[in-house]
Amino acid sequence: MDVREVEVGVTTRGEVPAVAKEYATEKISQLARLTDKPILFAQVKLTLEPNPARQRPALAEATLDVNGHQVRAHVAAQQLEEAVDLLVVRLRRNIAKAAERVDRETVRHTPEGLSPHRPEHLDRPVDEREVVRHKTFALQPMRWDEAAFDLEVLGHDFYLFTELDTGVDCVVCHGETGGTGVMPGDEQASAALHEIDDLVVGPVAPVLRLDEAEERLDVGHEPFVFFVDADSARGNVVYRRFDGHYGLITPG
């Protein structure tokens, strides 16, 4: 198969060696062989944080133009080469997810055109609502901005993750006036997140039982409730499905 050469732009922050830039250019260029859609452009940023106390001071982020659709990823690691390798893995995953999302949007076309709105939630009576879907995930420790990248790629309302520096379950979500914010799982995570400039930090998640979280979902207008489960002490999210029932996401 004839593979178009990918134009890769690499910028750096900190003392990033030239060999790391070359490695990133080579690895990102190879992604063109893994998709049947042309990668029109790739922008990569490599950062080496000067703080020796950081667990993962090497950061790599990228934005790809895949046939007119943006695909992004952001990772952190101990070494720059490791960060680039992880970045390629995440980009491969995100390219596949972006392709699936485009396919779903194509299927939803109607003669009147594609509606930009999600379907309305079914107004099911409260006494008929129950948890009909329970998803369990092994939460990968990550920085809040890595979680925000995943939130945007997946197109979800929220994203449950374990914050890297504190080990606390948190949720990143879209703000009411645009942008993203983080809901911390406890006061320790809240204090750490408040030190980040321009980051919107929500209130600390309440400690609840599942039935109490469901009650909050019933009386409020939010699409989900993030809470710390009273039994497991882990972050959980209960949300309203479009069929009017509940979905539940818990850490594995």
81 and 169 together in one domain: no
3-state helix, strand, coil in the chain (%, to 5): 30, 30, 35
141 and 240 together in one domain: yes
Domain boundary among the residues 47, 73, 107 is at: 107
Q: Which pLDDT score is estimated for 155? A: 73
Q: Is residue 232 part of a domain?
A: yes
Q: Which pLDDT score is estimated for 31? A: 81
DSSP 129-194: --EEEEEEE-PPEE-HHHHHHHHHHHT-SEEEEEETTT--EEEEEE-TTSSEEEE-SSHHHHHHHH
Q: Which pLDDT score is estimated for 18? A: 94
**Count of structural domains within the chain:** 2
Q: Is residue 64 part of a domain?
A: yes
84 and 158 together in one domain: no
* Whole-angstrom distance, CA of residue 161 vs CA of residue 7: 33
Mean pLDDT by 10 residues, the chain (252 residues): 68 93 91 77 90 80 86 86 89 77 46 43 70 80 84 81 92 78 94 89 94 87 90 93 86 86
Q: Give the distance, in angstroms, between the CA of residue 111 and the centroid of all CA atoms in the same chain.
A: 33
Q: Is residue 226 part of a domain?
A: yes
Q: Is residue 1 part of a domain?
A: no
Contacts of 18 (CB under 8 A, 6+ apart): none
Q: Is residue 141 part of a domain?
A: yes
* pTM value surpassing 0.85: no
143 and 76 together in one domain: no
Q: Is residue 115 part of a domain?
A: no
94 touches 87 (CB < 8 A): no
89 and 140 together in one domain: no
Q: Which pLDDT score is estimated for 177? A: 60
Q: Which pLDDT score is estimated for 126? A: 67
Residue 127: DSSP 8-state = G
Q: Which pLDDT score is estimated for 206? A: 95
DSSP 51-82: -TT-S--EEEEEEEEETTEEEEEEEEESSHHH
Residue 88: DSSP 8-state = H
For the record, the structure tokens of 167 come out as 């080990």
Q: What residue type is assigned to position 111 of the chain? A: P
75 and 147 together in one domain: no
Give me the CATH number covering residue 31: 3.30.160.100
Q: Which pLDDT score is estimated for 17? A: 94
**Beta strands 169-174; 158-163: pairing state:** antiparallel
Give me the CATH number covering residue 210: 3.30.505.50
The residue range of the domain holding 218 is: 130-251
CA distances from 38 to 34, 86, 97, 154, 234 (A): 10, 22, 16, 21, 42
Q: Which pLDDT score is estimated for 242? A: 79
As a whole number of Å, the CA-based R_g of the chain is 20
